[in-house]
Amino acid sequence: MEIINYVQQPKKHSSVRFFRNTSGIFSPKNKNRSAGSSAFLLSKKPFSFRRLFGGIWRGVSCIGRFAAKKSKIILIVLSILVVAAGLTGTAIYFYLNIINHTGPIAFNNTDREDYISLDRMMNRFAMDEKDIEDELTDEAISLENLVITQPVSFQTYKVKSGDTISGITSRFGLRNISTLISINNISNVRQLTAGQKLKIPSMDGIIYTVKKGDSIDSVVAKYKIKMETLLDVNELSSETLSVGQTLFIPGAALDNVTLKNALGELFIIPISAPFRWTSPYGWREDPIAKVRSFHTGVDLACPKGTPILASQSGKVVTVAQSRVYGNYIIIDHGNGYRTLYAHMSKTIAKKGTWVNQGAKIGLVGSTGYSTGNHLHFMVFKNDIRINPMTVLK
């Protein structure tokens, strides 16, 4: 009787919670609903594909009937998933464009002629080491065979606004910018000012100052130039030289180091007062969001009100305010280069005006997305961000 009672009342005697409801699977009441699933799997009849696919079909039908009965619940779940996806997309956009400082900056090109002029200027100034070496090599090749019988002559030129050393060189038919740099003892070509007077020689060459121990033979050997050419160009009646005497060496060029120093820095650090580098360009932990993000510029921390300088001469194309950059300024330097100065407490430069390298354009602050007083400095090349440290040399 105990055995029969156990079989007839499994709910009462089952000690395993998981199997308490298994009797419903085989009950006549649930025969149709469960035959295609559990009963099929426990059947001892021979296996056949017909029975397999039949069971699958009945299972799918069962799911379909369940979906029909629970359609409202399914629609609610789908709606929740759609809303969640939208919120996720919004969060990603916010992270990339607000927290991560990677949102695109709108550049408005309003004065085509000014930009063309800027491009020309930067193309002349932005010479890399290879360009300089090529220039030196090309000029030096012909010196051994160079024969000049006419003495060098000079004229004076008054620098005008917008002039560049390269432009003046070309205007007077000269080939080497070393010529004007040497003749006029220019220490930084980027500091030419309107009204400055320059001596323009009638031919390319540099000035050499005679030192103790020099002789006409040593100078000729150093620059690989013919003696008669050196004598004729400088109108020397004697081969005797005196210390401090200046000689014009036709066709010669400045050495690489001297020329690069005279060309000056392409961009200067926009803070001249004491400061600390606090965040480099590249990946870092965002100081506010505490998440890994890409830092699009370099940060220079210093007290509020510290003057911010134009890193290079150019035209102020944007003076604006945003939630991310706070008060900021964008300067166009030509040749695709633009710089952005963010988080200013005050902007000084006006949109549409020309500013020279080193001019005060604003004051350090902590406006926008900022944790403290600092300058967020960015450099763009053809509207693409680049590492500012590659041009701050």
- pLDDT tens figures, 252-275: 999 877 887 787 667 889 999 999
Residues 190 and 306 in one domain: no
**CA–CA separation, 238 vs 13, rounded Å?**
131
Query: Which one of 47-51, 63-67, 359-363 scores highest in mean pLDDT?
Result: 359-363
Q: Supply the DSSP symbol for 392.
A: -
Residue-range definition of the domain harbouring residue 321: 269-390
Residues 319 and 340 in one domain: yes
- Residue 107 lies inside a defined structural domain of this protein: no
Residues 258 and 275 in one domain: no
Question: In this structure, what CATH number is given to the domain that contains residue 175?
Answer: 3.10.350.10
Lowest mean pLDDT among 74-88, 140-154, 173-187, 272-286: 140-154
**CA–CA separation, 356 vs 192, rounded Å?**
10
Residues 282 and 258 in one domain: no
- Using a cut of 0.85, tell me whether the model's pTM lies above it: no
Last-in-domain residue among 263, 297, 329: 263
Q: And the tokens for 274?
A: 């004491």
**CA–CA separation, 49 vs 243, rounded Å?**
110
Residues 259 and 308 in one domain: no
| More confident call, 92 vs 25 | 92
Residue 141 pLDDT > 60: no
The whole-angstrom distance between residue 371's C-alpha and the CA centroid of its chain comes to 23
Across residues 367-385, what is the average pLDDT? 92
**CA–CA separation, 114 vs 336, rounded Å?**
13
**CA–CA separation, 351 vs 316, rounded Å?**
5
Lowest mean pLDDT among 82-91, 166-175, 239-248, 347-356: 82-91
Quote the Cα angle for 360-363-368, to 5°: 135
User: Where in 197-309 does DSSP place strands (E)?
Assistant: 197-201, 205-209, 246-250, 276-279, 282-285, 292-295, 298-301, 307-309
- Residue 102 lies inside a defined structural domain of this protein: no
- Residue 97 lies inside a defined structural domain of this protein: no
Across residues 288-310, what is the average pLDDT? 89
Question: In this structure, what CATH number is given to the domain that contains residue 281?
Answer: 2.70.70.10
> Residue 67 — pLDDT band, cuts 50, 70, 90?
low
> Residue 315 — pLDDT band, cuts 50, 70, 90?
very high
In a 10 Å sphere around its CB, with 0-12 CB exposed, 13-18 middle and 19+ buried, how is residue 99 labelled? middle
- Residue 95 lies inside a defined structural domain of this protein: no
- Residue 104 lies inside a defined structural domain of this protein: no
Q: And the tokens for 85?
A: 């996806």
Question: How many alpha carbons fall within 13 Å on the CB side of residue 90?
Answer: 6
- Residue 64 lies inside a defined structural domain of this protein: yes
> Residue 126 — pLDDT band, cuts 50, 70, 90?
very low
SS (H, E, C) 83-131: HHHHHHHHHHHHHHHHHCCCCCCCCCCCCHHHHHHHHHHHHHHCCCHHH
Across residues 228-252, what is the average pLDDT? 93
Across residues 354-375, what is the average pLDDT? 94
Instruction: Give the mean pLDDT of the chain.
Output: 77
Residues 283 and 246 in one domain: no
Residues 330 and 284 in one domain: yes
> Residue 380 — pLDDT band, cuts 50, 70, 90?
very high
Last-in-domain residue among 263, 295, 313: 263
Across residues 205-222, what is the average pLDDT? 95
Domain count, the chain: 3
Residues 219 and 289 in one domain: no
Last-in-domain residue among 263, 279, 306: 263
State what percent of residues in the chain have pLDDT above 90. 41
Lowest mean pLDDT among 279-288, 306-315, 381-390: 279-288
- Residue 105 lies inside a defined structural domain of this protein: no
Residues 248 and 273 in one domain: no
- Residue 91 lies inside a defined structural domain of this protein: no
> Residue 93 — pLDDT band, cuts 50, 70, 90?
low
**9-47 per-position pLDDT tens digit:** 444 444 444 334 444 444 444 444 444 444 444 455 566
Three-class SS state of 386 = strand
Residues 246 and 350 in one domain: no
How many CB atoms within 10 Å of residue 203? 18
> Residue 214 — pLDDT band, cuts 50, 70, 90?
very high
Residues 242 and 137 in one domain: yes
**CA–CA separation, 245 vs 176, rounded Å?**
23
* Residue 23 β-bridge partners: none
Residues 346 and 372 in one domain: yes
